[in-house]
Amino acid sequence: MADHGIHHVTAIAGPARKNLEFYTRVLGLRLVKKTVNFDDPGTYHFYYGNSSGDPGSILTFFPWEHAAPGRAGVGSAQETSFRVPESAIGFWTHRFLEKGVEHAAPEKRFGRSVLPFKDPDGTSLALVGVPGTGAETADPEGEIPQDAAIAGLEGVTLLVGDAPRTGAILTDVFGFHETVRDGSLVRYRGDAGLGSTVDIRDAKGFLPGRLGAGSVHHVAFRAADDAAQEAMVKRLAEHHGIRTTEQKDRNYFRSVYFREPGGVLFEIATDQPGFTADELKERLGQELKLPPFLEGHRTEIEGVLPALS
């Protein structure tokens, strides 16, 4: 049985180089996989995560050099958060000041310290201080000490147009449970260590979100393997009247997709085979990796991808 939680979050960015610089150098995440968008191979697909590239630690980006800015609204993610040790919030506040990262003052939410900030494209992010959090630092520059390293995702806040139906899918299909309500916000928790918080904000009647730089494209939830995924697909159809896409092979996981009733694009991704499917853990993210069906076009693809340094 898999842990119940988020597998990865995928967002849209502007220029690739700026995105890479921010997530690896400023936040100290590991570039776990450098590949291309399988549906648009002239575009990079960057996967950032913890040093092992565990499910639940992964935030991915499609960087488009000339992406227009997105807009938050119904059917979009309002914020994506990472988990850090509680004692590290001060370190990160100083670091954001020093690096000129747009951020707000730390605040308390549901008893936890939260430091909201934005990446260079305006993506709304936050660091959440969680007691007992430990992580192996993946910082290539060694500027981020072990006791301040980002462990992985904490979760997402979603703006949805039909909160009860979104909540029902989280609990009935993805194994989350409702823990607390505060006005129009309902918090759901899974049992995975990382990526186990989903906050649903009822935004019925608001403008729909618009995809673009700084916005989340989809949220992927974990299934242990094909059989677990199939069981979820069946539950979605039988209990919620929702059909998913056919399964797509994403090389590092296998996925189905569906638009949930609140408007957000959801994915169900298998934990198998994982990011070490085509390179050693020690070498994750170092080379441009292509799926077998694109390997024959490597020269052409490398020729159109934007420069990273």
Residues that bind Zn ion (CB under 5 A): 10, 220, 267
Burial degree of 276 (CB within 10 A; 0-12, 13-18, 19+): middle
Instruction: Tell me: cis bond preceding 273? Omega within 30 of 0 counts.
Output: yes
157 versus 251: smaller Cβ distance to Zn ion: 251
At 228, the amino acid letter reads: A
89 versus 290: smaller Cβ distance to Zn ion: 290
In this structure, the number of other CB atoms found within 10 A of the CB of residue 282 comes to 8
267 versus 271: smaller Cβ distance to Zn ion: 267
Question: E-strand spans in the chain?
Answer: 6-13, 30-37, 40-49, 58-63, 76-85, 107-109, 112-118, 124-130, 152-160, 177-182, 185-189, 197-202, 216-223, 248-249, 253-259, 265-273
Whole-number minimum distance, CB 101 to Zn ion, in Å?
26
146 versus 245: smaller Cβ distance to Zn ion: 245
Q: Residue 153: helix, strand or coil by DSSP?
A: strand
33 versus 103: smaller Cβ distance to Zn ion: 33
At 110, the amino acid letter reads: F
Whole-number minimum distance, CB 209 to Zn ion, in Å?
17
For the chain, give the number of residues: 309
10 versus 35: smaller Cβ distance to Zn ion: 10
Whole-number minimum distance, CB 248 to Zn ion, in Å?
10
Whole-number minimum distance, CB 269 to Zn ion, in Å?
6
Helices 163-172 and 226-240, axial angle in degrees (round to 10):
140
Whole-number minimum distance, CB 267 to Zn ion, in Å?
5
Of 45, 75, 120, residue with least CA distance to 258: 75
Whole-number minimum distance, CB 298 to Zn ion, in Å?
23
CA dist 199 and 249 (Å) reads 29
